[in-house]
Amino acid sequence: MQSGKTLDITNDSCPITFVKIKLALESLAAGDILEILLSGGEAVKNVPRSLRAEGHRVVALEKQSNGTYRLLVEKEGASGKDS
């Protein structure tokens, strides 16, 4: 799946990660896909989960060969949402 925008937060930690994602999502329309590159450990444990909790849809999460993760998230508010 292609994304409209990419955000790299592999060098950030909580709560900076959340602030950057929030700002990135604000610039998108409902249903748009944001690609987020994030580090393993606490970031990958917390970021995808909290995006779901805020109503966004996690489309995919892939571990990269360098140990970081690539996350695709769909901004909340799109029609035909299944949850």
Partner 1 sequence: MDIAELKKGGFLKQLQKDYFAVRLRVAGGNLTLEQLETVHQVAKKYGKGYIHLTTRQGIEIPFIHFDHIDAVRGELFAGGIGLGVCGGTVRGVMACQGSYLCPHGHLDAKELSRQIDEQFFAAQVPGKFKISVAGCNRSCAKPQENDLGFGGVIKPVFRENDCIGCGLCADICPAAAILLQDGYPLLDREKCINCGECVTACPTAAWRQGEAGVRVWAGGRIGRDPKLGEVAVAFLPLAKIPAAIEASLGFFREHGRSKERFGKVIERIGWRKYREVMERAVRQDA
**Interacting residue ranges for partner 1, rule: CB under 8 A:** 40, 44-46, 48-53, 58-63, 69, 71
Question: Helix, strand, or coil here: 37?
Answer: strand
CB of 31 to partner 1, least distance (A): 17
Catalytic residues: 14
CB of 14 to partner 1, least distance (A): 11
CA 80 to CA 58: how far, in whole Å?
A: 15
CB of 80 to partner 1, least distance (A): 17
Supply 47's token pair: 């970021």
Q: What burial class does residue 59 get, using C-beta atoms within 10 Å of its C-beta: 0-12 exposed, 13-18 middle, 19+ buried?
A: middle
